[in-house]
């Protein structure tokens, strides 16, 4: 039986998914992409999971990129299929009904940065490095890097990172909007799970509504986005969580959301 390239563990309502190939700096091969897709499908379907933390094993890398040894032997059609495989995973993460946090503990390069950008939030250690170095391999980003980086950091930064292929440090990544927060490496796990637990205690249906509205709004005109937001806002009034949240506010107590 083939050993899984992932470690999966639950901390209360938070599921941690760890890419466990530290000897390869957690590089993404086809088997790892497939395992990650299955893991996120399972997390989406599990009502006990309210937030997900994604990270890489070992002290050096979140994910240092796609597996170059595997890519080296691919023909053009196989390369296209590998790209589609990666993009399917990133899209699944992006459309998760529960918040996903990338805990960037080291190098997030190429496919690793693309994986992190598919997540909803990104927290990086101050020692982390991110980048899209595919140009140095005679390639371009293939898992959505040109598109998500463009939306996060803008045209100028995307051209710089993709054309020059040089990594940037976590502080610069935060300035560009690629990561949300930068913390000391020793505090990364504690700070990430503090945020994850906060999200896990929030109203699940409202969280999903926010994620859906922002996903739709990022891909359509403002009028369509506003219409979708209004429809989702109205639906919240049919939930027990909305009554609980507003009632708790009026009663000056902490709400207990149940996802119904």
Q: Could you tell me the two tokens for 169?
A: 């440090």
Q: Which of 3, 70, 94, 134 is flagged as catalytic?
A: 134
134 is catalytic: yes
219 is catalytic: no
Q: Which of 114, 191, 219, 223 is flagged as catalytic?
A: 114
**Catalytic residue set:** 114, 134
């Amino acid at each position: 039986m083939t050993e899984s390239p992932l470690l999966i563990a639950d901390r209360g309502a938070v599921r941690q998914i760890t890419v466990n190939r530290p000897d390869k700096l957690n590089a993404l091969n086809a088997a790892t992409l497939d395992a990650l897709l299955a893991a996120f499908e399972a997390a989406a379907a599990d009502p006990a999971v309210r937030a997900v933390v994604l990270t890489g094993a070992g002290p050096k890398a979140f994910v240092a990129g796609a597996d170059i040894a595997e890519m080296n032997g691919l023909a053009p059609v196989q390369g296209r299929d590998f790209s589609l495989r990666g993009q399917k995973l990133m899209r699944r993460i992006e459309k998760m009904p529960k918040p996903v946090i990338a805990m960037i503990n080291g190098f997030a390069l190429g496919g690793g940065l693309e994986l992190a950008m598919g997540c909803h939030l990104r927290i990086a250690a101050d020692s982390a490095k991110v980048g899209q170095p595919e140009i140095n391999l005679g390639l371009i980003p293939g898992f959505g890097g040109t598109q998500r980086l463009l939306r996060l950091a803008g045209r100028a930064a995307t051209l710089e990172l993709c054309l020059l292929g040089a990594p940037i440090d976590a502080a610069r990544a935060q300035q560009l909007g690629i990561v949300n927060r930068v913390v000391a490496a020793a505090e990364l796990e504690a700070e990430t799970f503090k945020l994850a637990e906060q999200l896990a205690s929030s109203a699940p249906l409202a969280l999903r509504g926010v994620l859906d509205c922002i996903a739709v709004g990022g891909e359509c005109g403002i009028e369509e986005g506003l219409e979708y937001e209004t429809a989702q806002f109205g639906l919240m009034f049919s939930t027990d969580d909305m009554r609980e949240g507003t009632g708790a506010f009026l009663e000056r107590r902490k709400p207990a959301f149940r996802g119904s």
